[in-house]
Amino acid sequence: MASVSLDTINPKVLKCEYAVRGEIVTLAQALQEELKSKPGSHSFDEILYCNIGNPQSLGQQPITFFREVLALCDHPSILDKSQTRSLFSADAIKRARQILDQIPGRATGAYSHSQGIKGLRDTIAAGIEARDGFPADPNDIFLTDGASPAVHLMMQLLIRSEKDGILCPIPQYPLYSASIALRGGTLVPYYLDEAAGWGLEVSELKKQWADAKSKGITPRALVVINPGNPTGQVLAENNQREIVDFCKKEGLVLLADEVYQENVYVPEKKFHSFKKVARSMGYGEKDISVVSFQSVSKGYYGECGKRGGYMEVTGFGPEIREQIYKLASVNLCSNISGQILSSLVMSPPKVGDESYESFSAEKDGILSSLARRAKTLEDAFNTLEGVTCNKAEGAMYLFPCISLPEKAIKAAEAVKTTPDNFYCRRLLNATGIVFVPGSGFRQAPGTWHCRCTILPQEDKIPAVVSRLTEFHRSFMEEFRE
Amino acid sequence: MASVSLDTINPKVLKCEYAVRGEIVTLAQALQEELKSKPGSHSFDEILYCNIGNPQSLGQQPITFFREVLALCDHPSILDKSQTRSLFSADAIKRARQILDQIPGRATGAYSHSQGIKGLRDTIAAGIEARDGFPADPNDIFLTDGASPAVHLMMQLLIRSEKDGILCPIPQYPLYSASIALRGGTLVPYYLDEAAGWGLEVSELKKQWADAKSKGITPRALVVINPGNPTGQVLAENNQREIVDFCKKEGLVLLADEVYQENVYVPEKKFHSFKKVARSMGYGEKDISVVSFQSVSKGYYGECGKRGGYMEVTGFGPEIREQIYKLASVNLCSNISGQILSSLVMSPPKVGDESYESFSAEKDGILSSLARRAKTLEDAFNTLEGVTCNKAEGAMYLFPCISLPEKAIKAAEAVKTTPDNFYCRRLLNATGIVFVPGSGFRQAPGTWHCRCTILPQEDKIPAVVSRLTEFHRSFMEEFRE
């Protein structure tokens, strides 16, 4: 065997952690195998994966129109058959033809331009324009296999050493900490204010920026996740303006994780893209660098398995754009089905299209159900002893704070784990419900949280609530001093 | 604008080069735009992309059975409709059902296990066993978005600094040089012997290994591309045994790029996987670390746009496997269509299946045509003044050596480019044919090559040959001393 050991591999790999697929999930997979091989071996009969924003794994159905178009693009030779007209909607057939016409040689099996098929980028840019009311350039779009590779690409571009800092919210989505660790950079934390509904205070940004500078770290970029993950808050436009001004003043690249742009559940909040906010302040290409990440995995579509997404890259000079293009080209291109789907989510059926009504019914059904589930779970958490939970204004998660008894904290120490991990492990073993411990996202020192998705189907929510409530009651009893 | 300049980005990004999508291709895209906006503006009416192994971009049709299954998995709700039975073959419907049953919740839109859907890995492992006659473990399979991310993952795992070396063939596929540059490692070159049909001599491996050691570099892995890219040779089994023994002795990870395993065109050669060779020598898990890369982009299928592939990882301890899994999990999973297609190419229709005959006709038609095209182009190159070209025994490329006149070399110097780049640029401007200069793959000092794919459709080959011949004649005339 080759001389490969933990001592001889890249230490940055060792340092990297990715909690949403970490220890708890491995334990859950083992339990699932046990349930399969020995039914009745546990007090629950299924594992409920609330660890990850993966809607279709919990029963959410794909949007019919999108899947019709994908199927037709995968097998275009049926487009001219009469039976196809009775199996597929007329506008799906029409859209598939349009898309095929945009692909050089109609070759859905060919590598595309490394930024993605030009015609699809035109559609996406038009979708962004319609959303924002400001121009978008198809040459600014880089289609990617989900949003993750786009984030890695930007980190790879910006980070030279541990002296380069990336400002990240705490709590954050662990893709950021993992990607920064893999590139050997420094995560500069800024804390969201839990007491103010996970508010993002610019005074906190300034403080952490100055603190990093004083340690010899050069802040290069600011990550903002809006709507928030794992925190679920939706930023107010006014707050976004302050953030834009801060980035402009300090020369920071604004990395805007906007993958939950369709997931807003409260009428008083609305999604605004950071590029729109910057443009509405009169800032153009030369004033600020903004990268917006979007994905087909979230929204009402939840097409995680398709690995589609894009980044819109603005405010970089041509010589840097060339480097970004080169990095994209090293993997040749993203998958074409994901590219097609990215164009579809940015340009869904419109009033008058045959599919419009059924499409709208599917979309509204999913989003209104998510809003109800978010509220029910939030209320449930807030009835638990020692638990407080902010509202999920958007995204797909709740991030309740749990005041754990001293005795539970000691019990966790005794088995060499963190208290939140201890809690989540107990919950899983008792109920089959998978949460992610707050440690995986980082949290204010001395506080303990867990992240729970709002994605179990509505008919399962009562069982989640009752199992969770019962578990929590008995856990608190067990560790009461 | 943020303070991002060539001076402040990651210098490893600057150092990275990727010729198959480099300067010549950018020029070709510009010419294509000109042809579109001003027809007749050049002496040719189309760009012939012979720069990259992208068969469907040049008119190769996808394998019908594979596309049927993909379409049905994308839109499973048509599976039960009667019209579907008249549009799709019975075995495609059956296979789609089997695959859907292997996917938890039949959710093709969900993130899968980070190694890929277990049932599909079972199918792939069975396909490897059938190919090699030795056991394969589904837990050794990591499904990836094409082979490139798998190569990047292994480089990320192994490379700590410029003191870590990766032995690579010269000429090599630029993914390797790019990936090593991005991780900051050292490419340790070993030269293939052009005069011996691009032979791989173990004495050369030993020499370069010792030379690297003497410079303080630790060789960590050996890359072998078999069948070769850009060189087209197919290794003899005996040669493979020597390579295996060398890796075993020196504790090198054997990174076996086997993406052209279906592309062998000469009866006297046969593909043998390195794992099979190692096992046939009696070496097991504890003796040697072998990683085999496979892709849906090559073979007779050529499904580049689907971004499917896998690596089979053997001979690492569980603690290293855990790190590989963690790296895979940071991007969650590869795209499900690519995963499905990977299982299909490793388990195509069999004798007795409804699609078997039409499938075999499509497959054999493509492979025999590729063999004819390889021969025709090889012969054409060998008739050109100062050009010698080895046989393409496999893969999709020819890599002719061109003795350029001194005057042409000086002319290249005068415009600050390499002679091979100069030649390829002239060729493109005169004929619309896109080759990649040998520099992009590296070549023995003082020699000049270009890489040409064998992928233009057969009816275009005569035009390629005559345009190339005419160009070469006039080029040599122009620069004759």
Longest dimension (CA), chain B: 73
pLDDT tens digits for B333-384? 999 999 999 999 999 999 999 999 999 999 999 999 999 999 999 999 999 9
CB contacts of A77 in chain B (<8 Å) are 64, 67
Q: Write the residue in B14, B110, B149 that is nearest to A305 by C-beta.
A: B110
Q: What are phi and psi of B189, to 5 degrees?
A: -80, 140
DSSP bridge partners of B175: none
Average pLDDT over residues B136-154: 97
Mutation target among A7, A8, A13 for the B interface, most CBs of B within 10 A: A13
First vs last Cα of chain A: how many Å apart? 53
pLDDT tens digits for A467-478? 999 999 999 999
Q: Report the C-alpha gap between B46 and B173 in whole angstroms.
A: 27
Check: complex ipTM more than 0.85: yes
| 3 state DSSP class of A191 | strand
pTM for this prediction? 0.95
Checking if the pLDDT of B287 tops 80, the result is: yes
Q: In this structure, what token pair is assigned to residue A33?
A: 């195998």
Beta-carbon separation of B87 and A84 below 8 A:
yes
CB contacts of B77 in chain A (<8 Å) are 64, 67
Least confident of A164-178, A405-419, B13-27, B251-265: B13-27
Helix, strand and coil percent figures for chain B, each rounded to 5: 50, 15, 35
For residue B20, name the pLDDT band (cuts at 50, 70, 90). low
Q: Write the residue in B112, B288, B335 that is nearest to A338 by C-beta.
A: B335
- DSSP structure class, residue B193: B
Q: Write the residue in A29, A54, A179 that is nearest to B111 by C-beta.
A: A54
Encode A388-418: b = buried (16+ Cβ within 10 Å), e = exposed: ebbbbbbbbbbbbbbebbeebbebbeeeebb
What local confidence, expressed as pLDDT, does residue A1 receive?
Answer: 59
Beta-strand runs (E) in A59-215: 141-144, 164-170, 186-191
Q: Report the C-alpha gap between B164 and A151 in whole angstroms.
A: 27
Helix, strand and coil percent figures for chain A, each rounded to 5: 50, 15, 35
Checking if the pLDDT of B110 tops 70, the result is: yes
Percent of chain B with pLDDT over 70: 99
Encode B161-173: b = buried (16+ Cβ within 10 Å), e = exposed: eeebbbbbbbbbb
Within chain A, which residues score under 70 in pLDDT? 1-2, 20
Percent of chain B with pLDDT over 90: 93
DSSP bridge partners of A48: A433
The gap from C-alpha A481 to its chain's centroid, in whole angstroms, comes to: 39
pLDDT tens digits for A108-140? 999 999 999 999 999 999 999 999 999 999 999
What local confidence, expressed as pLDDT, does residue B271 receive?
Answer: 98
- Residue carrying structure tokens 């004033």: A287
First vs last Cα of chain B: how many Å apart? 53
| 3 state DSSP class of A439 | helix
Within 33-52 of A, beta carbons closer than 8 Å to B belong to 52
Q: Where are the alpha helices (DSSP H) in A385-460?
A: 406-414, 419-431
Checking if the pLDDT of B451 tops 90, the result is: yes
Beta-carbon separation of A111 and B247 below 8 A:
no
Average pLDDT over residues B306-324: 96
| 3 state DSSP class of A287 | coil
C-alpha angle A400/A405/A408, rounded to 5°?
A: 100
Cα dihedral B348, B351, B353, B355, rounded to 10, equals: 60
Whole-angstrom CA distances from B378 to A10, B299, B401 are 43, 20, 11
What local confidence, expressed as pLDDT, does residue B1 receive?
Answer: 59
Q: Is B479 within 8 Å of B408 (Cβ atoms)?
A: yes
Q: What are phi and psi of A432, to 5 degrees?
A: 80, 5
Q: Report the C-alpha gap between A231 and A390 in whole angstroms.
A: 8
The gap from C-alpha B33 to its chain's centroid, in whole angstroms, comes to: 28
The gap from C-alpha A304 to its chain's centroid, in whole angstroms, comes to: 10
Single-letter code of the amino acid located at A2:
A
- Residue carrying structure tokens 């867990």: A450
What local confidence, expressed as pLDDT, does residue B481 receive?
Answer: 81
